[in-house]
Structures are given as structure tokens and as C-alpha cells.
Amino acid sequence: MSEVKYSKEHEWIKLEGDVATIGITKHATEMLGDIVFAELPEKGSNVEKDGTAGVVESTKAASDVYTPVSGEVVDTNQEIVDDPSKINQDPENSAWFFKLKIKDKSEMDSLMNKDDYDKFAKETTT
Amino acid sequence: MEIKKTSLYQLHQDSNAKFVEFAGYQMPIQYSEGIVEEHKFTRNHSGIFDVSHMGQLFIYGDNELIEDLEKIFPLDLKNLKLNHSKYSFLMDQDAGIQDDLIITKINEGFLIILNAACKDNDFKILKELLNEKYKMILDENRSLIAIQGPKSSQILNEVIDGVKDLSFMSGNWFLFDNQKVYITRSGYTGEDGFEISISNDFADKLTRELIKKGSKLVGLGARDTLRLEAGLCLYGHDLDKNKTPVEANLKWAISKERISKGDFIGSDIIIKQLNDGVSKIRVGIRPEGRIIAREKTKIYNQSDVHIGEITSGTFGPSVNGPVAMGYVENKFSKKDTKVFLEVRGKKHAANICSLPFYKKSYVKGTN
């Protein structure tokens, strides 16, 4: 059974076996507003925990997307590149960003569960 | 310094505005529907913009004032008809733009609409240039409400009868609730629309009536995407003291009559640039892909030589793609010239294009 965890940079991560699916949270999309551009890491590249692994842009500004864990990029979601508004519509499900073959499962330990994240998100709004 | 609020602040709050500080004012950047929806609603229907942070400068005087203002602005003010407006700029001696503005001839003198961030400085400069000869009021007691989009004429006319007969870039006094309001047919979105100068005490009431008739509040976020699609400049970004009107590709706004005489501030440089050309010029730029090139993005030619910089860039919801404006070396300013934009370390192909990105016709009157 897979558990979804959350980072302070407002990414969610769902681990199945040693493959993690990563996206940005609904709360993040609400803060960003209408997303009009998305850039994803290249398939086959390696990303490091807390490093940048993509960009989303609203009409107002660009924001980096970070990866909460290290790993090799095994898949990316071309659909959100072609139609970035999908990220606003379904951020925590079909509008995932990339999948990683992760290196070190213990990197998941420092991430938040849903309750803690919801609390964190509430505090960081305003 | 305390942050200022406009008289629509309560209405913005009631409408779930997200606020941002702009030029010392607490202004709505967007409401609950978001920038893209607000943008499209303005293009297809009618949007209301609170632009009360902008300066409304009334200068009172007669023929002597006209002569004195002609020494400042490159406009043929002697032939400007009553209630007609012109786009212009306040330049320094080097023709650097200190502000861009709309000046309207009113009965007792002129009304000048100034950018919020520049208005206090403009007031000081103008007062000095006019030797304090004239009564000048930078009116903080009036709000400025813009209503823009194809349905705006009909909606506003239901509330204030007669406005639909105004022609583009002209205005007049009307009555709302027995209050004198000055309305011009103008705007900053590329759509037909109006700007309403109204006493602060009645701004909220008027706006709520316009909303009841079907218009919707639109924030500064969509105002920016709308004006950029329309190819209109934003002061402090596309225009500043280091750019002249000729470089900004705004020579259409300089009166030919006045150039032949050349007796306004900055005229030496303007005439020289009109005769000899300029080294850099403002252009429209469209990236080939979806990449958004924002302000300060560097522009390169096909041989990887740095030739300019983006001054405004965003995603254009009506164009459904990225749009930008910037300054490039004159020889690379021709339409369809291929250039490259450096975004996050990578170069992306783009093309110089004509402005505006999005075009609609303004309503032309008979007078």
C-alpha cells in the first residue's frame, strides 16, 4: 500500500516499489494561480534531493519545482507540458510531473504526512 | 509610510481579491476566478478595473497655459479640441521618458492621467516647469474606474445615459447620482472601453451598479496580460528615463507640427533621432514554443551576439501563447527576424513581430 508524503516546497510524492511519482500540491496551485507553462526534467537524468527538477509559471511569475528525493527520472508527464492548465484542474492525481527510480528510501522519512502538511500549508498561507 | 487604500478597498475584499502592494497602494492583483478567466471575460464581455492609484492632475488656465504646456509636451495642444485626449510623455532634456500619460482638454484647462509610481514626481516637475503660475490639483478625492471590453458601452450606458455616443479618445462630464463624473472613451486593454473619474464617495456605488449590470471586477494581473497583448507599454518596464519616445517606437504620438518647430523639452534629441535613426528600438517578440521570456531576458541574434533585452513578457491568454516586448539593435528589428532568448541558461528561438499581438478595433466616432 502506498502512502503519499509531502514536502515543505509543496510537492507530493507517492512511492510504489522503488518508483516515486511526484507532483505539486493543490495548495501550491492555489498560491500560484493559473499555470501557463511547465518544464520537466529530462528522462534518464539524475536529480538530487531538494534540487530543482522543473519549473512552473503562472501569468505572473516562474517558480522552481524541487524534488523531495533523489533518483533517476524514468518518466515525465507530457500532458501537462502540452496543456499546463491541467495542473490547476487535477494537481494531485492525473497532473503528476515526473517519476523517479529512487536511490534511498530513507529520504522519505523526513517528509510530512497529509495531516502535518495540511497544517503546514495553512500556516504558510497569508 | 502607510500603505494607501482606494475607495473600492472594501468591495475588493468582499470580492475575495488577492492584494499586492503597487506604488504604495494596496491593489487587487486578481479575484477568485483568476487572471486567465478575468482576462478572457474582459475580451469577451466587460471588466472593471480599479485604477484609482493613478494620478488625476487638473491644471487650470487659458491660452497662456496651452503655450506653456506646448514647451513641455510634443503635442499640438492649440488644435486639441475640447474634451479630446492625446497620449503623450513627460520627457527630460535628453528626451528620456519620465512618465507616459493621457492629456485631455477640459473646459477650464487640462486633465492629465499619470502613472501611480510617477505622479508625485511629475507634479513636482510640472509645477517647476510651469513656474507655479497655474492652479494645479493632483486630486486624491477622485477615484478612477476603467470599464473595458465589448459589452462595456452598453453596460455603462445603462447606468450613465449618453456615454455610448463618446468617440474613442474623447470625453465629457456626465451625471451619476447627481455627481459630476468625467468619462473618457479610452483604456489600456486593446478593447473598447471607458475611464471614469468620480468622487471617492460614489466610486463604490457606481462600481456595484456596473457589476449588477453584468460587468466583473478584474485585477492588475489581467490588466498586465491584456495591455501586453495589445502592445501597450508599461512605465518602469517598457519605458523609462533611459529610453526616448523614438526608441520606444512611439513617434506616432509626437505631433509633426511640433517637430518642425522643435521647441519642446527633449526636441533636439527627438529631431536628431528621427533624422539619423536610433541604435535600439522597441519590438514585439513571440517565442516559438511555450517558453515565457520575462523582463530582463537577454536577446541574441543567430550568431549568438547579445542584441537586446526583454522589457515585458508573459503568457497571453487570448493569443494562447507567450508574448513579449523588448528593445533590440535597430538592424535586428525587422518583422520575422529570428532571435534567441536566454531563459534559465538555455537559448530559445523567437521571432520579431509587429504589435499588437491581439487586435480589435476601437469605436470611432463621427466628430
Separation in Å, CA A61 to CA A56, A90, B60, B252, B312: 9, 21, 43, 32, 12
Strands (E), A59-97: 62-66, 71-76
Separation in Å, CA B77 to CA A8, B71, B83, B197: 59, 10, 12, 22
Q: What is the pLDDT of residues A43-100, one digit of tens each?
A: 999 999 999 999 999 988 899 999 999 999 999 999 999 999 999 999 999 999 999 9
Q: Are the beta carbons of B35 and A57 separated by less than 8 Å? A: no
Measured between beta carbons, the chain A residues lying within 8 angstroms of B39 are 59
Return the residue in B223, B292, B346 with the most chain A beta carbons within 10 A, the one to mutate for interface testing.
Answer: B292
**Cis bond before residue B356 (omega within 30° of 0):** yes
Query: Which of A37, A59, A62 is facing B35, going by the closest CB pair?
Result: A59
Residue indicated by cell numbers 464617495: B201
Query: Which of A36, A39, A55 is facing B315, going by the closest CB pair?
Result: A36
d(CA B234, CA A103): 48
Beta carbons within 8 Å of B13's beta carbon, 6+ residues apart: none
Measured between beta carbons, the chain A residues lying within 8 angstroms of B294 are 61-62
Q: What is the pLDDT of residues A98-108, one digit of tens each?
A: 999 998 999 99
CB B313 within 8 A of CB B323: yes
CB < 8 Å & 24+ apart, contacts of B60-63? B60/B108, B60/B109, B60/B134, B60/B135, B60/B136, B61/B109, B61/B133, B61/B134, B61/B135, B62/B109
Q: Does A78 touch chain B (CB under 8 A)?
A: no
Q: Does B292 touch chain A (CB under 8 A)?
A: yes
Within the 79-108 window of chain A, which residues sit less than 8 Å (CB to CB) from chain B?
81, 84-85
Q: What percent of chain A has pLDDT above 70?
A: 97
Q: Are the beta carbons of A57 and B315 separated by less than 8 Å? A: yes
Q: Are the beta carbons of A62 and B292 separated by less than 8 Å? A: yes
Q: Which residue of A has its CA nearest to B315?
A: A59
Q: Does B344 touch chain A (CB under 8 A)?
A: yes
Query: Which of B39, B224, B292 is facing A37, going by the closest CB pair?
Result: B292
Q: Which residue of A has its CA nearest to B36?
A: A34
Q: Does A114 touch chain B (CB under 8 A)?
A: no
Distance, C-alpha B366 to centroid of its chain: 24
In Å, how far is A59's CA from the nearest CA of chain B?
6
In Å, how far is A30's CA from the nearest CA of chain B?
10
Q: Are the beta carbons of B221 and A59 separated by less than 8 Å? A: yes
Q: Are the beta carbons of B315 and A55 separated by less than 8 Å? A: no
Return the residue in A34, A58, A80, A126 with the most chain B beta carbons within 10 A, the one to mutate for interface testing.
Answer: A34
Nearest to B217 by CA among B44, B17, B7: B17
Q: Which three cell numbers stand for residue B148?
A: 473595458
Measured between beta carbons, the chain A residues lying within 8 angstroms of B290 are 37, 81, 84
Q: What is the pLDDT of residues A10-38, one digit of tens each?
A: 999 999 999 999 999 999 999 999 999 99
DSSP summary character for residue B134 = S
DSSP summary character for residue A90 = S
d(CA B293, CA A37): 11
Can you tell me the ipTM of this complex? 0.85
Query: Which of A37, A59, A62 is facing B36, going by the closest CB pair?
Result: A59
Q: pLDDT averaged over chain A?
A: 94
Q: Are the beta carbons of A60 and B221 separated by less than 8 Å? A: yes
Q: Are the beta carbons of B30 and A33 separated by less than 8 Å? A: yes
Which mean pLDDT values do the consecutive 10-residue runs of chain B (367 residues) have? 94 97 97 96 98 98 97 97 98 98 97 98 98 96 98 98 97 97 97 98 98 98 97 98 98 94 95 97 97 97 98 96 97 98 96 92 50
d(CA A102, CA A47): 10
Q: Are the beta carbons of A33 and B344 separated by less than 8 Å? A: no
Q: Does B319 touch chain A (CB under 8 A)?
A: no
Beta carbons within 8 Å of A110's beta carbon, 6+ residues apart: none
